[in-house]
Structure 1
Amino acid sequence: MSTDTNQLIHFSAIPFDAPGRRSPVAGAPSIEHLASAARELVPYLRQHARETELNRRVSDEATELFRKAGFFKLMQPARFGGYEYGFTAFIEIISELARGCASSAWGCSLGVVHQWVVGTFPEQAQQDVWGGNPDAIVCGSYAPTVMAEKVDGGYTVKGEWHWASNVDNSQWALLGVQFPPEEKGAAPSAGFLLVPRSDWRIVDNWHVVGQAGTGSKTVAIDNATFVPGHRKLTFAEASSNQPPGVAVNHNPIYRIPFLSAVPVCLASPMLGNAQGAIEAFYELCGNRVTRGAVAGGGNRLSQFFPVQSRMAEASASVDAARLLLFRDTAEVEQLAMEGKVIDVDKRIRNRRDHAFSSRLCHQAVEGLFSSVGGGGLTLDQPLQRMWRDSNMIARHISLNWDAVSSMVGQYLLGLEPKGQY
């Protein structure tokens, strides 16, 4: 069976003409061109997926292919050579790449979305990151577990930040910290600091069962290191409809509150991974003949009713997940374009759907993998890797259904939502 003979297993046409799918930059490649470049890379990513996993990082070669394709320019400010596309374009590109390798797509995803994040920082911070190297890539560790110390002109920091995906290919790090209170008796505030590669080292401690190729190692700063104050962005600023970077990057995509859209950088690899699992399962069903003493031995896998049903459910789940992500993201892009505030209702709804779409994708992969039998367990069969990657992504705190759904339920019941939105 060839995947070319059944269009139902492929992504459906995108039904939204969202603002983020159009670049305001003269001469920028079209979204169709960028999406085609992503599709062309899928066979390469599939071929090297096992190697990526064994190496526990996205390769230099894959990173260079992403760079040449223009993916790291996708959301970067035009002043530094970027295209200023939005999150709807982002979802399409990253989910396409993840059909080939979820780890590689994850690394690209974080590299791309952090170009948008840096674009919301003050102007001088953007100049620091890209002024000398417009191709600089930024990794990140968001949890504000380290307390920054206030000093003249900025802050000093020292400590470790875990799970900095794609750190091997990054020249800067976006680090979550606690800032000391501005007034006596007030509580600390959380936010980010931007720190160059020269100020930190990599702790090679990423040994995991899934998403091994993301290279999500630890960033360590061993001695108190100065970070100028202009490289600071508080969570409150990031969650506002008017972060500092809007003053110089006038494109409305930089007005979108952080958590209304940034988690698609996690949900998009999950979406593409589930789509890749459907395609791999399709090929397996056409080629695999059951063996052994069980009833039905000698038949093709595709002839069994449970297999047929799980295939149908998986395709519906992935399609539904994709529709949720695009609908929500297109709506906040449109609101930003119109200069309207993206309120708490929309933020909570988007956080719900980031997690629920990922849950749908995870259920799709789980259902398919339950039907593969022993032939799907070998390390050269991509389905087992996609299953492990799916389990890993589903447990990310930003997509974890238990964590996010409790916050949503609190809000819907009139309680104070406890979570990040």
Structure 2
Amino acid sequence: MNSSVQRTAVPDDVLHADLVARATVLRDDLRRDSAGSEQTRRLSEDVIGKITGAGLTRLLTPKRLGGYQTDVRTLLDVTTELGRGCCSAAWVTGVLNAGNYVVSLFSDQAQDEVWGSDPDARTAQVLGRPAFSVEETEGGVRVTGEWGYASGSLHAEWFGGLIAIGGASGKPEIYFALMPAADVTIKDTWHFAGMRGTGSNTVVADGIFIPRHRLLPYVPVLNGETDGLVPESHAYRNSMTGVFTIGLIGSLIGGAEAALEYVREKVHTRPVAGSTYAHQVDSPTTQLDLAAAAVKVDTAKLHARRLADTIDGHARAGENPDLLTRARARMDSTHVAQQCREAIDLLVTTYGSSAFSESNPLQRIWRDINVGSRHAGFGMGIPEQVYGRALVGKDPRDLSSLV
């Protein structure tokens, strides 16, 4: 063990408050940098350096290797604060923490490779389709394939993707595969209307070797069937889908909160076009729209906190949540995304057409939330079907593995 990363134990509530405060300090820096990150389609090295330097990418990294090993409520609150400055920066921070969480499920040997000499090492993880060519070889596998939408891959020392092993005479088994970033290449494919700063490009592996100790069965971890795979002492061994969604929704909530604050500040000086109202603050329509948007943001926060507290509660009790709880967790995160999208739509309409000026931060937040809220984990009606199926006593995994 690296003695340089030992630290005195800090009470959980004090650590939570400290880490959230560090995120709050960075908000203005992120806000100033957000336009540049959007233009370059990646976070600046200054921003990622400040986030990493504040310890905010090792929230779920094991304590024994220099991490904070916090609860997921801390992950939610930290990314929400960062999202109030820049949605893309918060999204990347959430994804990198989720990636590090996956590494914490691997063997000590793999964890030591990742963090043994650098407790700030970051991992980008994608739950997309498995790589298309996997050859079993002595001591491991050789992999060729691509993984798209790899948020955070421009700022990671390690990359995790899914691969399928076997299948010639039966169903292949899916594994997490952990690869050094130096072994893969990144294809520039992230040309999107929003969340541009996330640099969610395509990661490419060309015949790279992955040793056995850097492979972890995917489905057992997803289903909480972790006996013999993940140490029983690991608090979140049964909560993979929930941890991943928590890593995403803080960005959306923070963006919606920032937009609400911005519009509330401006209503005192902006007129209502085409009317005799000298200021928006005097218009009942503006007041009603602000009330509706504020309630949507509050609703998003309440559902997000319930989700985080449910995951943390099961973790503290050492219990595996049942399928209904897991299905509701996916529905909760989807509802958060929907409420944030509806809130920002109301706010840009309330503000007026100048919200879409390129110099106005509202248009960037609007695009970021509209893209982020349509992530595959939230969209296409699948979460609603998953939850509904669980509510009538059927197995939601028949529809989606992400439960």
Contact 2:268 2:281 in 1 (8 A): yes
Q: TM-score, normalised by structure 2?
A: 0.91
Alignment partner for residue 269 of structure 2, among 287, 300, 303? Answer: 287
SS at match of 1:71: coil
Name the residue aligned to 1:343.
322
The 5 A counterparts of 1:227-238 are 227-238=210-221
Is 1:195 matched with 2:174?
no
Contact 2:324 2:391 in 1 (8 A): no
The 5 A counterparts of 1:316-327 are 316-327=295-306
Name the residue aligned to 1:152.
138
Alignment partner for residue 354 of structure 2, among 375, 380, 386? Answer: 375
Offset at residue 25 of structure 1 (A)? 6.4
The 5 A counterparts of 1:381-392 are 381-392=360-371
SS at match of 1:350: helix
Alignment partner for residue 131 of structure 1, among 116, 122, 139? Answer: 116
Letter in 2 for 1:168: L
Contact 1:139 1:165 in 2 (8 A): yes
Is 1:64 matched with 2:49?
yes
Letter in 2 for 1:238: V
Name the residue aligned to 2:199.
215
CA offset digits 1:5-25 (Å, max 9, x no partner)? xxxxxxxxxxxxxxxxxxx96
Letter in 1 for 2:138: D
Contact 1:359 1:401 in 2 (8 A): no
Q: TM-score, normalised by structure 1?
A: 0.88
SS at match of 2:160: strand
Offset at residue 219 of structure 1 (A)? 0.8
CA offset digits 1:273-328 (Å, max 9, x no partner)? 1111111111222232234xx233x5212222222112111111111211112122
Could you list the structure 1 runs, at least 4 aligned residues long, displaced by more than 3 angstroms after superposition: 240-246, 413-416
Name the residue aligned to 1:20.
none
Closer/same/farther in 2, CA of residues 245 and 57 from structure 1, 3 Å limit:
farther
Offset at residue 119 of structure 1 (A)? 0.4
The 5 A counterparts of 1:223-372 are 223-241=206-224, 243=226, 246-247=230-231, 250-252=233-235, 254-291=236-273, 294-296=274-276, 299-372=278-351
Letter in 1 for 2:265: E
Name the residue aligned to 2:150.
164
Closer/same/farther in 2, CA of residues 416 and 337 from structure 1, 3 Å limit:
closer
Alignment partner for residue 76 of structure 1, among 47, 57, 61? Answer: 61
CA offset digits 1:85-112 (Å, max 9, x no partner)? 0111110000011001000111111112
Offset at residue 366 of structure 1 (A)? 1.0
Which segments of 5 or more consecutive residues in structure 2 lack a partner in the other structure?
A: 1-6
Closer/same/farther in 2, CA of residues 34 and 103 from structure 1, 3 Å limit:
same
Offset at residue 154 of structure 1 (A)? 1.4
Offset at residue 355 of structure 1 (A)? 0.5
SS at match of 1:191: strand
Name the residue aligned to 2:4.
none
Name the residue aligned to 1:409.
388
Alignment partner for residue 173 of structure 1, among 141, 156, 159? Answer: 159
Which segments of 5 or more consecutive residues in structure 1 lack a partner in the other structure?
A: 1-23
RMSD: 2.0
Name the residue aligned to 1:49.
34
SS at match of 1:178: strand
Offset at residue 118 of structure 1 (A)? 0.8
CA offset digits 1:143-197 (Å, max 9, x no partner)? 123232222221111121111112111111111222224xx74311223101101
